[in-house]
Chains A and B, each alone.
Chain A
Amino acid sequence: MVSHAPVHLSVEDLTIAYDGKTAISGINLEIRKNEIFGIIGPAGSGKTSFLRILNRMDANVNNMSWTGSVSYNGTDLRTWRNLYALRRKVGVVFPLPVGLPMSIYENVAFSPRIRGIKNKAEIDDIVERCLTRAALWDEVKDRLDALGSLLSGGQQQRLTIARALSQEPDLLLLDEFSIAVDPVTTMRIEDVLKELKSELTIVLVTNLVQQCRRLADRTAFFLSGECVEVGDTEDFFTGTVKDQRTRDYVEGRFG
Chain B
Amino acid sequence: MSMFAATALNRKNATKQAWISRAFGAMTISLVIPVVLVMGTLIHRGAPSLSWAFLTEDPTGGMTAGGIFPALFGTVCIVIVALLASVPVGVAAAIYLSEYAPDNVFTRIINLAIINLAGVPSIVHALFGVGAFVLFMDFGTSILAASLTLAVMTLPVVIVSTRESLVAVPQAYRDACLSMGATKWQTIWRVVLPNAISGILTGIILEVSRTAGETAPIMFTGAAFFLPFLPQSVYDQTMAMSLHLFVVATQVPNVPESLPYGVALILVGMVLVMNSVSIGFRVYLRGKRKW
Query: Is there a chain B Cβ closer than 8 Å to A100's Cβ?
Result: yes
Query: Is there a chain B Cβ closer than 8 Å to A5's Cβ?
Result: no
* Closest-CB distance, B120 to chain A (whole angstroms): 33
Are A114 and B180 neighbours in the complex by a CB distance under 8 Å? Answer: yes
CA distance A167 to B176 in the complex (A): 12
Mask: chain A, 145-168; 1 = CB below 8 Å from B; 0 = not? 001000000000000100110010
Given A98-B172, A101-B195, A110-B190, A87:B178 Cβ within 8 A: yes
- Which residue from A94, A98, A147, A167 sits with its C-beta under 8 Å from B181? A167
Query: Is there a chain A Cβ closer than 8 Å to B182's Cβ?
Result: yes
Query: Is there a chain B Cβ closer than 8 Å to A85's Cβ?
Result: yes
Considering only CB atoms, which chain B residue lies closest to A166 in the complex?
A: B180
Given A94-B172, A101-B191, A110-B190, A147:B179 Cβ within 8 A: no
CA distance A87 to B194 in the complex (A): 23
Give the contacts of A59-74 with B (CB-CB under 8 A). 60, 62
* Closest-CB distance, B196 to chain A (whole angstroms): 11
Main secondary structure of the interface of B (DSSP, over half): helix
Interface size class, chain B? 20 to 34
Counting chain A CB atoms within 10 Å of each CB, which of B102, B172, B180, B195 scores highest? B180
CA distance A90 to B181 in the complex (A): 9
Give the contacts of A84-142 with B (CB-CB under 8 A). 84-88, 90-92, 94, 96, 98, 100-103, 110-111, 114-115
* Closest-CB distance, B84 to chain A (whole angstroms): 29
B residues near A110, Cβ cutoff 8 Å? 177, 180, 182, 190
Considering only CB atoms, which chain A residue lies closest to B177 in the complex?
A: A100
CA distance A86 to B180 in the complex (A): 9
A residues near B102, Cβ cutoff 8 Å? 62
Are B181 and A114 neighbours in the complex by a CB distance under 8 Å? Answer: yes
Counting chain B CB atoms within 10 Å of each CB, which of A57, A62, A102, A160 scores highest? A102
CA distance A115 to B190 in the complex (A): 13
Query: Is there a chain B Cβ closer than 8 Å to A55's Cβ?
Result: yes
A residues near B191, Cβ cutoff 8 Å? 100-102
Could you name 24 residue pairs across A and B whose Cβ atoms are closer than 8 Å? A55-B179, A57-B179, A60-B178, A62-B102, A84-B181, A86-B181, A87-B178, A92-B176, A94-B175, A94-B176, A96-B172, A98-B172, A100-B177, A100-B191, A101-B173, A101-B191, A101-B195, A110-B177, A110-B180, A111-B180, A111-B181, A114-B181, A160-B176, A167-B181
Q: Which residues of A contact B (CB under 8 A)?
A: 55, 57, 60, 62, 84-88, 90-92, 94, 96, 98, 100-103, 110-111, 114-115, 147, 160, 163-164, 167
Q: Which residues of B contact A (CB under 8 A)?
A: 102-103, 172-173, 175-183, 186, 190-191, 194-195, 289-291
